[in-house]
Amino acid sequence: MKKEKDRTTIMWIIITVLLLLVGYDAWACKDRNKRETISGMITHASETYLLIPLIFGLLTGHFFWSQHFRNDRSRR
């Protein structure tokens, strides 16, 4: 029972954080002259820190490549 409660709590924390990020991004898009959107911040930081695009590439490759192999195994 406790494990299920922990999962529910974590799920609500993640949902809250994502809603806050979406809310900030919408607010920043509306007032574009004064603020930068989240994607703009990431793009700007990527020009300085080349590790950021590498990390995004590794993460997306990990997510999609693992799905490719999982689907191949289920077809056999």
Tell me the three-class secondary structure of 10-26, residue by residue: HHHHHHHHHHHHHHHHH
In angstroms, rounded to a whole number, what is the distance separating the alpha carbons of residues 58 and 63? 9
Report the pLDDT value the prediction gives residue 2, as an integer from 0 to 100.
73
pLDDT of residue 64: 80
Q: Note the pTM of the prediction, 2 decimals.
A: 0.61
Q: Which residues contact 28 (CB under 8 A, 6 or more apart)?
A: 35, 36, 37, 38
| pLDDT, tens digit only, all 76 positions of the chain | 677 788 899 999 999 999 999 999 999 888 777 778 898 899 999 999 999 999 999 988 888 887 666 665 555 5
